């Protein structure tokens, strides 16, 4: 049974690998046109384009961003094993094309909310590697002052990082409601995983978003495994892009940053035109287990992971495209790699040496905009001052 | 004209609790464009209990939103809207249904400001009727004061009369934190005198401050919501027997005003807590625990024996701190006779 499932996945992986090195027509040394995979459509007459132009500048930017996310996640893995990071740590290496591609398809003034596998998105939304790693190590220089950790990082127009599976569905629809209410032409990308797709509240969010025509792009990041449960073991229908029922959907190759970008642009335009919500399924893969406490090989094979790494790695796909179309040289990309390594190492150095928040701050931020008050500690004689 | 009106004693307006909440919401909707109301039947039905009567006609679809029967969904939508800068009022038809959405109230709303290190505030109000009604059976009669009162990051208020209702709903809407407003269905239709200051559009009651409804010297009686009325009636009966009760209307469950309660118990040395919730791990249990931890030291230090007699009778918790003599006596609640208490759902008694 398991063997049959795995072979099905491998077949799907092998099919996709044929598209990896696509036809590139060089228009100039500054940009190139690439063919991208056609998206399966649901309740849509037409979908995103099947070719796209990538400029050299964009290519270098996406490459740098994806490599930064990759290296940052690997550094987090290392820090976790060294016990600098404790608690939950859900890594997204393998899924870099999703966060980078989504950001490339929207404006900074648009909004994003996602699940706990959020480090990559925190970076693409504007948080520095330093503030992310320092939050992971729980120090005062972290973006949430050490009080949130891996799953609760926030920045402008980014609402986390949510620990409860599926809760971000309605939250994102609510952000979209605010966008419509204010009439500011902004949209909200509401991400959830293949596991969360089975939450009732996701269906409730779909219903209300469609009913009220909220400018919400629901995005199912399907990495095939909800913790240790393969999609086919959890869902009666694994066509996640059709599960919006009355909401149009697209199935997108989530390992190709250009495919993600074009699909996102298409979906964003759809929402901005007032037609209501739309659903995107990003087919992607995570190399790590569900979290750092999961080796990730009891419910899938090492061969499968290796297959994806060698045939569908998102960074490799972009690298090959850029080098083959002479948008960049191998040396240039190596140079970027060196710079990224330095950035990550510096950030890790800071993250492991920054002091922890002082105990006096334990009671802070209980309430917003309030005058300070006392919070009871572990016994009646220990009190903490709480400042907003 | 002004001289004449000064001579004529104008009777104080009587306003029902329902109309007081309606007024409060209307004023805040008018004052701030970002405020809106969503919930089941709040718009075209005028509110399941008519609390939002007239608001949809006045403000329209954009600001008064009827939702499908999807508590977890619409509570989450309301929280998301609050995170993105609006000021939603999320109505639960009764707080029993809030149980389906409680994850959004606690994990998405209450904890977020803390977890984000002060970056993301959630200015939202969750309101609706709480506790027992008349014969609606167990699933529709739960009091959520203790459950919501347990959680840091949340503010929880429980109005009793019209003045409470208007002042607290306005404060809740203006507060930048998630506030749970526990109303009471049986109180909606009860009229109260509305003092002149309550008629102002800026009338606010501070969250976190209790009110002494009746001064007394012999016994402190602490309560919230509808039972406050019962306590005042009981106090009137006891007064004829020479027992003067000091009745405290908590108004706020969290943050609880222990200062007022402590000061009163220091004065009277006797405490009774009265609530509509279950006794175990309840509001009264918390008050008693804090009295024990706090001032009981001051009361008992002079004496060799600290005696606390705890007896639970139905939904009322009774504690007696005897610090003056070493003896204890139990207080039999049935002797106190809460008159007019014919409303209780029979599954308790």
Q: Which of residues 102-121 of B touch A (CB under 8 A)?
A: 103-104, 107-108, 112-121
Taking 70 as the threshold, does the pLDDT of residue A260 lie above it?
yes
Taking 50 as the threshold, does the pLDDT of residue B82 lie above it?
yes
Percent of chain A residues topping a pLDDT of 90:
91
pLDDT digits (tens, 9 = 90+) for B192-242: 999 999 999 999 999 999 999 999 999 999 999 999 999 999 999 999 999
CA distance B184 to chain A (A): 26
Contact A178 B177 (CB under 8 A): no
CA distance B167 to chain A (A): 18
Taking 60 as the threshold, does the pLDDT of residue B316 lie above it?
no
Q: Which of residues 133-162 of B touch A (CB under 8 A)?
A: 152-153, 155
Taking 50 as the threshold, does the pLDDT of residue B88 lie above it?
yes
pLDDT for residue B343 = 36
Sequence-distant (≥ 6) Cβ neighbours of residue A85 within 8 angstroms = A76, A79, A136, A137, A138, A150, A292
pLDDT digits (tens, 9 = 90+) for A137-148: 999 999 999 999
Contact A171 B83 (CB under 8 A): yes
Contact A167 B78 (CB under 8 A): no
Say which of B27, B28, B40, B71 is annotated catalytic. Answer: B71
Contact A164 B103 (CB under 8 A): yes
CB of B74 less than 8 A from some CB of A: yes
B245 in Cβ contact with B214 (< 8 Å): yes
Separation between Cα atoms, residue A186 and residue A176, nearest integer Å? 8
Taking 60 as the threshold, does the pLDDT of residue B320 lie above it?
no
pLDDT for residue B345 = 34
Residue of B nearest to A180 (CA): B62
CA distance B256 to chain A (A): 12
Residue of B nearest to A157 (CA): B84
Tell me the whole-structure pTM to 2 decimals.
0.90
Lowest-confidence region among A73-87, A235-249, B5-19, B111-125: B5-19
Which chain A residues touch B153 with a CB distance below 8 Å? 366-367
Q: Which of residues 251-310 of B touch A (CB under 8 A)?
A: 255, 293-294
* pLDDT, mean of residues B317-331: 36
CB-nearest to B115 from A147, A177, A181 is A147
CA distance B155 to chain A (A): 9
CA distance A337 to chain B (A): 32
pLDDT for residue A17 = 46
pLDDT for residue B332 = 34
Taking 80 as the threshold, does the pLDDT of residue A13 lie above it?
no
Lowest-confidence region among A9-23, A150-164, B75-89, B133-147: A9-23
Which chain A residues touch B76 with a CB distance below 8 Å? 167, 169-171, 173-174, 201, 204-205
pLDDT digits (tens, 9 = 90+) for B154-199: 999 999 999 999 999 999 999 999 999 999 999 999 999 999 999 9
CA distance B303 to chain A (A): 22
pLDDT for residue A6 = 57
pLDDT digits (tens, 9 = 90+) for A70-126: 999 999 999 999 999 999 999 999 999 999 999 999 999 999 999 999 999 999 999
* Test the B interface: residue of A110, A111, A204, A381 with most B CBs within 10 Å: A204
CB-nearest to A175 from B84, B119, B175 is B84
B71 tagged catalytic: yes
Nearest to A212 by CA among A277, A158, A258: A277
- Mean pLDDT, chain A, rounded, equals 94
pLDDT digits (tens, 9 = 90+) for A195-241: 999 999 999 999 999 999 999 999 999 999 999 999 999 999 999 99
pLDDT for residue A12 = 57
* pLDDT, mean of residues A5-21: 52
Which chain A residues touch B294 with a CB distance below 8 Å? 380
pLDDT for residue B292 = 85
- Residue B13: pLDDT band by 50, 70, 90 thresholds? confident
Say which of B140, B224, B230, B270 is annotated catalytic. Answer: B140
Contact A159 B81 (CB under 8 A): no
Return the H-helix or E-strand segment holding B167: helix B162-174
Separation between Cα atoms, residue A346 and residue A225, nearest integer Å? 33
- Residue B54: pLDDT band by 50, 70, 90 thresholds? very high
B233 tagged catalytic: no
- Residue A289: pLDDT band by 50, 70, 90 thresholds? very high
Which chain B residues touch A200 with a CB distance below 8 Å? 72
Which chain B residues touch A369 with a CB distance below 8 Å? 121, 175-177
A-B Cβ pairs (cutoff 8 Å, strict): 150
Residue of A nearest to B290 (CA): A380
CB-nearest to B72 from A170, A366, A370 is A170
pLDDT digits (tens, 9 = 90+) for A149-164: 999 999 999 999 999 9
DSSP class of residue B110?
Answer: I
Residue located via tokens 């908590």: B250
Taking 50 as the threshold, does the pLDDT of residue B338 lie above it?
no
pLDDT digits (tens, 9 = 90+) for A315-374: 999 999 999 999 999 999 999 999 999 999 999 999 999 999 999 999 999 999 999 999
CB of B340 less than 8 A from some CB of A: no
* Test the A interface: residue of B33, B119, B156, B157 with most A CBs within 10 Å: B119
Residue of A nearest to B65 (CA): A212
Distances (CA, A) of A290 to A83, A229, A310: 18, 10, 21
B154 in Cβ contact with B208 (< 8 Å): no
Backbone angles phi, psi at B46, to 5 degrees: 70, 15
């Amino acid at each position: 049974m398991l063997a049959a499932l795995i072979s099905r996945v491998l077949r799907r992986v092998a099919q996709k690998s044929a598209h990896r090195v696509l036809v590139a027509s060089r228009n100039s040394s500054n940009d190139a046109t690439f063919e991208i995979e056609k998206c399966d459509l649901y309740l849509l007459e037409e979908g995103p384009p099947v070719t796209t132009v990538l400029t050299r500048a964009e290519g270098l930017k996406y490459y740098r961003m994806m490599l930064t996310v990759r290296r940052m996640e690997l550094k987090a893995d290392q820090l976790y094993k060294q016990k600098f990071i404790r608690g939950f740590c859900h890594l997204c290496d393998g899924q870099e094309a999703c966060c980078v591609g989504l950001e490339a398809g929207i404006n900074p003034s648009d909004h994003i909310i996602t699940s706990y596998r959020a480090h990559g998105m925190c970076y693409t939304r504007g948080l520095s590697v330093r503030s992310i790693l320092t939050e992971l190590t729980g120090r005062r220089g972290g973006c949430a002052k050490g009080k949130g950790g891996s799953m609760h990082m926030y920045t402008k127009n980014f609402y986390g990082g949510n620990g409860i599976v599926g809760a971000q569905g309605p939250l994102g629809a609510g952000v979209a409601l605010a966008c419509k209410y204010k009439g500011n032409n902004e949209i909200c990308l509401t991400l959830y995983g293949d596991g969360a797709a089975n939450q009732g509240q996701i269906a409730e969010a779909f219903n209300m978003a469609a009913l009220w025509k909220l400018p919400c792009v629901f995005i199912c990041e399907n990495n095939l495994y909800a913790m240790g449960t393969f999609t086919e073991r959890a869902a009666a229908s694994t066509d996640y892009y059709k599960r919006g029922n009355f909401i149009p959907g697209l199935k997108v190759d989530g390992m190709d940053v250009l495919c993600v970008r074009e699909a996102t642009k298409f979906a964003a335009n759809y929402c901005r035109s007032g037609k209501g919500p739309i659903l995107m399924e990003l087919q992607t893969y995570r190399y790590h287990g569900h979290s750092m406490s999961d080796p990730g090989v009891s419910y899938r094979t090492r061969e499968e992971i290796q297959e994806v790494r060698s045939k569908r790695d998102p960074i490799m796909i972009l690298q090959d495209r850029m080098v083959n179309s002479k948008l960049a040289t191998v040396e240039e990309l190596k140079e970027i790699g060196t710079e990224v390594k330095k950035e990550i190492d510096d950030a890790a150095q800071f993250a492991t040496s920054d002091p922890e928040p002082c105990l006096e701050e334990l009671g802070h931020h209980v309430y917003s905009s309030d005058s300070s008050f006392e919070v009871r500690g572990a016994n009646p004689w220990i009190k903490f001052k709480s400042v907003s | 004209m002004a001289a004449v009106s000064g001579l004529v004693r104008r009777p104080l307006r009587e306003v029902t609790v329902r109309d007081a909440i309606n007024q409060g919401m209307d004023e805040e909707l008018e004052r701030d464009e970002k405020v809106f109301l969503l919930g089941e039947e709040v718009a075209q039905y005028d509110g399941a209990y008519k609390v939002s009567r007239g608001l949809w006609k006045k403000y329209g679809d954009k600001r008064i939103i009827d939702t499908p029967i999807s508590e977890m969904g619409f509570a989450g939508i309301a929280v998301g809207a609050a995170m993105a800068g609006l000021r939603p009022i999320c109505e639960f038809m009764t707080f029993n249904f809030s149980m389906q959405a409680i994850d959004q109230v606690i994990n998405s709303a209450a904890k977020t400001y803390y977890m984000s290190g002060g970056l993301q505030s959630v200015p939202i109000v969750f309101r609706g009727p709480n506790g027992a009604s008349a014969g609606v059976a167990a699933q529709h009669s739960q009091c959520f004061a203790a459950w919501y009162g347990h959680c840091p990051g949340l503010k929880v208020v429980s109005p009793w009369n019209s003045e409470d209702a208007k002042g607290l709903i306005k404060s809740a809407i203006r507060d930048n934190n998630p506030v749970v407003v526990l109303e009471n269905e049986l109180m909606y239709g009860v009229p109260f005198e509305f003092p002149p200051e309550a008629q102002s559009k800026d009338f606010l009651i501070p969250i976190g401050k209790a009110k002494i409804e009746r001064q007394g010297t012999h016994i402190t009686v602490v309560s919230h919501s509808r039972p406050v009325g019962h306590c005042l009636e009981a106090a009137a009966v006891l007064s004829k027997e020479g027992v003067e009760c000091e009745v405290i209307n908590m108004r706020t469950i969290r943050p609880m005003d222990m200062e007022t309660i402590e000061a009163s118990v220091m004065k009277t040395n006797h405490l009774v807590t009265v609530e509509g919730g279950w006794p175990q791990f309840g509001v009264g249990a918390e008050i008693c625990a804090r009295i024990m931890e706090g001032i009981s030291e001051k009361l008992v230090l002079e004496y060799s024996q600290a005696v606390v007699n705890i007896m639970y009778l139905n939904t009322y918790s009774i504690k007696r701190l005897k610090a003056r003599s070493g003896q204890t006596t139990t207080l039999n609640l049935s002797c106190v006779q809460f008159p007019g208490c014919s409303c209780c759902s029979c599954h308790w008694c």
